[in-house]
Amino acid sequence: MQIVTGHSIAESGEHALLRPEIRESRSCRAKAHINRGRASCKSGDYSAAIADFSMAIKLDPSNHLAFLERDSALCDMGRDDLSIADYGRAIALDPNDDRAFFFRAKAYERLGEYELAIEDFSGAIRLRPDISISYIARGNAYCNKGDDYNGIADYSRAIEMKPSDARAYYNRGLSYNRLGDFNLAIADFTQAIWLTPKDARLFFERGNAHAYLGNDRQAINDYCHAIELAPQFEAAYSNRGCAYCEAGKFDLGIADFDKAIEINLKNAKTYLFRGHALKEMCENDRAIANYTKAIVHNPKYGEAFHNRGLANQSNGDISSASADFAKARELGYYDE
């Protein structure tokens, strides 16, 4: 289907020259198309919705809501590139509508244009500084471009405005984790858990913070909660397996890696972890088999080549070990 989103300047000018009663009639018909388009969006028929919103724009090119609604439908279809142009038209028609800035920013963010997204989120905040979600959204854009400090500032502002929003605590906790401020991360995840105790991600991320601090018991407890809430949470099994291994409980660790692999057979990292656990248990042949599977799923996995080399070396297979070490170096992996 070809999506047509443009209307000429001449059409807008012609609309302005129509007699008032004709303009009013066309505006009413445009509103009817907008309402029908909204209904089509709710049912998932975005093509029909776009057709209605486009007709509304043709009937009343000055109706910025028609552009906003078509933008939304285009975004739902994954056509952020087209939606950005429409948001620009909506902003030109009504530069005081914060929604157009906000949603265009979201489209820019999905396209990886984080600077433009931040600029538009800032525009939305300038128009409506009382909306906390705009600060969270801008904080996300900052973090996506690698600026966790400004992200934390925005999340903190959102928390001041709406202390009951777990998203701001969760996102700020992620930023603190990335910056290595694990105790602050734990505090934020704990507050988020208090607000939304059924979200497995919160327990998982708090478990990660505990693991970074070497708090294996607390980490395992949090991963257990995450798994209880989301029994197919692959990463929670994998990370709990690592925590068990750090605590010297390799059999439990391997059982968790087995479960993670059952959920996702193609995750090279889990085979690597299971290989580590087996190597610690002096089961070099099984460890080699797991490192080999990791390499099958990720042929450029330097760490897997290096560790397979160590296991081959332990088995006395110096030729295979040397080849693995050489391949690891070729891939840019050097043992620290």
- Give the CATH fold of the 1-94 domain: 1.25.40
CA distances from 40 to 61, 98, 190 (A): 21, 25, 41
DSSP 281: T
- The CATH number assigned to the domain with range 266-336 reads 1.25.40.10
Burial label, 251 (beta-carbon count in 10 A; 0-12, 13-18, 19+): exposed
- What's this model's pTM, rounded to 2 decimal places? 0.79
Q: How do the domains of the chain map onto residue ranges?
A: 1-94, 266-336
Q: How far apart are CA 172 and CA 189, in angstroms?
A: 9
Is-same-fold flag (1-94; 266-336)? Answer: yes
Query: How would you write the pLDDT of the chain (336 residues) with one tens digit per residue?
Result: 344 344 433 344 444 444 554 445 666 776 777 777 677 767 777 677 767 777 776 666 666 676 666 656 665 666 666 677 777 877 888 899 898 899 899 889 988 999 999 999 999 999 999 999 999 999 999 999 999 999 999 999 999 999 999 999 999 999 999 999 999 999 999 999 999 999 999 999 999 999 999 999 999 999 999 999 999 999 999 999 999 999 999 999 999 999 999 999 999 999 999 999 999 999 999 999 999 999 999 999 999 999 999 999 999 999 999 999 999 999 999 875
What contacts 237, CB < 8 A, 6 or more positions away? 223, 227, 256, 257, 259, 260, 263
